[in-house]
């Protein structure tokens, strides 16, 4: 009546815990750190900066967008960044953001996996 029946599930769970993590598998804390890093990068990249009395700029570390401070003012030469340079600056911003987030994830995983090694 009080005998335990071994259905093999407990052995399976210990086998899963003993297997090493795959290369692309990350910890939950690393995902949270990556999410915060992405949020900070988006905030820095999308925040509007007043460059002078005539225009607003958008972009970090490279400026990829400009617009006049007065919306009806069409005669101000505020396009100091041409369209080709604007596209390249946006691509560089994305690459730098990916590098920041990727290196943050790699550092986080390195320290977590170094701590959990037997």
Domain ranges of the chain: 25-116
pLDDT at 106: 93
Q: How many C-beta atoms surround the C-beta of residue 89 within 10 A?
A: 17
* pLDDT 10s digits, 16-75: 555 666 667 888 899 999 999 999 999 988 888 777 767 778 888 888 777 777 777 665
Phi, psi of 77 (to 5 degrees): -85, 85
φ, ψ for residue 61 (rounded to 5)?
A: -80, -15
Strands 55-58 and 65-68: antiparallel
Q: Work out the average pLDDT over 106-114.
A: 88
- What is the per-residue pLDDT for 1? 54
Q: How many CB atoms lie within 10 A of CB 73?
A: 11
Report residue 85's pLDDT band, with 50, 70 and 90 as the boundaries. confident
pTM: 0.66
């Amino acid at each position: 009546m009080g005998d335990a029946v071994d259905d093999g599930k407990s052995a399976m769970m210990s086998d899963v815990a003993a297997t090493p993590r795959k290369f692309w598998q990350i910890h939950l804390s690393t995902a949270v750190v990556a999410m915060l890093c992405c949020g900070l990068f988006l905030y820095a990249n999308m925040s509007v900066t007043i460059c002078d009395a005539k225009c607003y700029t958008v972009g970090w570390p490279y400026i990829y967008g400009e617009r006049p401070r007065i919306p009806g003012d069409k005669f101000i030469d505020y396009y100091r960044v041409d369209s080709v340079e604007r596209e390249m600056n946006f691509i560089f911003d994305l690459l730098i953001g990916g590098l920041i987030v990727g290196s943050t994830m790699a550092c986080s995983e390195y320290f977590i996996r170094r701590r959990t090694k037997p």
